Chains A and B, each alone.
Chain A
Amino acid sequence: MAESQNAAVITNENAGGEFERTPVPSSKLKGWKSFLGMYAGEHAAGTEFMIGPLFLAAGASLKDLALGLLLGNILAILTWRYLVAPIAVSSKLTLYYQLEKIAGKNLVKIYNVVNGVLFCFLAGAMITVSASAVGIPFDINFSIPENIFGLSTPAFSMIVIIVGVVMTVVAAAGYNTVSKFANIAAPWMIVVFAACGLSALSQMEVDSWDSLLEEWDKGISVVQSVNGKTDFGFWKIVIFSWLCNAAMHFGMADLTIMRFAKDSRAGWGPSIGMFLGHYMAWICASFMLAAQIKLTGDISANPGALAWSAVGWTGIICVIVAGWTTANPTIYRAGLAFQTLFPLKSKKYSGVILAGIVATAAGIFPSLSGKLLDFVGLYGAILGPMGGVIFVNHYLAKKMNFTQDYADEKGTGFNTGVLLAWLIPVALGLYFIFGQGLFPAYAVIPSWIASSVLYVVIMKLQKS
């Protein structure tokens, strides 16, 4: 999940490295099959180790999980194909430049900083994931405290700080090396995920679908006997798996990637990656927790301990590599977003250091990684609505007779209409999420629709 999110920080510097302010020329366009490979490794990341077990911990039945993830992933792929790809192919512009033309340079800066802060929390969760594996050889485990601002043991917090500092330094100094290493590790990581699942099945001693269901249900009973009864049904799984990457598809962050596509078939690009990462990897990771519950009765979703139990040192290495290769580019890109806050004369790594500090501070609170299902929904609910503005600008502006690319046409650096169309639905969404306890992923589509409608209304009012 997380690798793809890295495309979402839409600064000039990282928007594909070239053609940042011009449409991609036809000589540089790629066929749709190139996108299959490009996305294949992106959705098998450190987050998968954490998200998979959380389904079991949340009380999802295995049947609902298998079918819900299938439908949710199909819907996500269709959203990329029919929402993002046509706009990307038609405009061939980065999200940054497209948004700048609509919203103005200054508003894009605000959007970038919001994006950067969310990135830091994601990177923080990945630091926790990596630290969970680093702690295993030293017999330092982490527990998730009840309180969201509760700390784990001092020893675990120290490991988080060390891992965070190393990741920040590497992100500031050698991002390209990590990026190359991530490419090498991706196929290996996918196979290790599968091996973890198979090993966990063996630990559970299952020999049929029925015995697997029995073990799974026993696992849920144990979790619910400790945490109380929770419900994570079929439609909740569908909505979550559809919208956990909402910032990328509904939010249009992947315009930056798909602008290199020859035609809209590039929208099928994420299909293999989604089913490897958000289907196979999640289910395999959840099996590890089910096996741990059977073997020890321990219900804590500690990725390091789970992988260690399933496949030994390979699992430890995999969790560290997965967390590291996810957190590093995330810190780097959050840093680029923060860099806009620093004076031009400041060191170019100032933003990365700030992002690293925020991410490490977030990683110290293990509740963040334990709330990853909520966090990725929140991420989509905050950034997704901006995609509605782009959608309206692309398809409806001319038809409804209001100015397309408003900021560009009027020469303004700040389109208040976009700000209102973005902020009002997000504020309402946040109210329902934090005030009324709404599952964050449920807020994504209503906010996206509200944002689109609001932008049309504001632009029509402005014109009249």
Chain B
Amino acid sequence: MKILKLISALSIVGFILLTSILLLLGSMDAANMKILMLIGTILWFLVTPLWMKEES
């Protein structure tokens, strides 16, 4: 469960928030950011229901 939560956190903080910060800092281009964000989104919706369901 801890690992699943970690993956969820990584998917939104790493793949979505961090990439947009990198874009703002000029360290990443928009196309790569959009792909990584989509991967983060898919990861979030695959993993989060698993641990959220158990918690509820």
Contact = CB atoms under 8 A, between A and B. Distances in A.
B33 A188 contact: no
Given A184-B49, A314-B37, A314-B41, A195 B16 contact: yes
A195 B20 contact: yes
Contact of A313 (B38, B49, B56): B38
A198 B20 contact: yes
Contacts of B35: 312
Contacts of B21: 198
B24 A312 contact: no
A202 B38 contact: no
Given A188-B12, A202-B23, A202-B30, A195 B44 contact: no
Contacts of A192: 16, 37, 41
B16 A314 contact: yes
Contacts of A202: 20, 23-24, 26, 30
The 3 closest A-B pairs by CB, nearest first: A312-B34, A195-B20, A198-B20
A188 B41 contact: yes
28 contacts: A183-B52, A184-B45, A184-B48, A185-B45, A188-B16, A188-B41, A188-B44, A188-B48, A191-B17, A192-B16, A192-B37, A192-B41, A194-B20, A195-B37, A196-B20, A198-B21, A198-B23, A198-B24, A201-B24, A202-B23, A202-B26, A311-B20, A312-B35, A312-B37, A312-B38, A313-B38, A314-B37, A314-B41
Interface of B: 12-13, 16-17, 19-21, 23-24, 26, 30, 33-35, 37-38, 40-41, 44-45, 48-49, 52, 56
Nearest to A199: B20
Nearest to B49: A184
A107 interface: no
B4 to A, nearest CB: 13
B45 A195 contact: no
B30 A195 contact: no
A174 interface: no
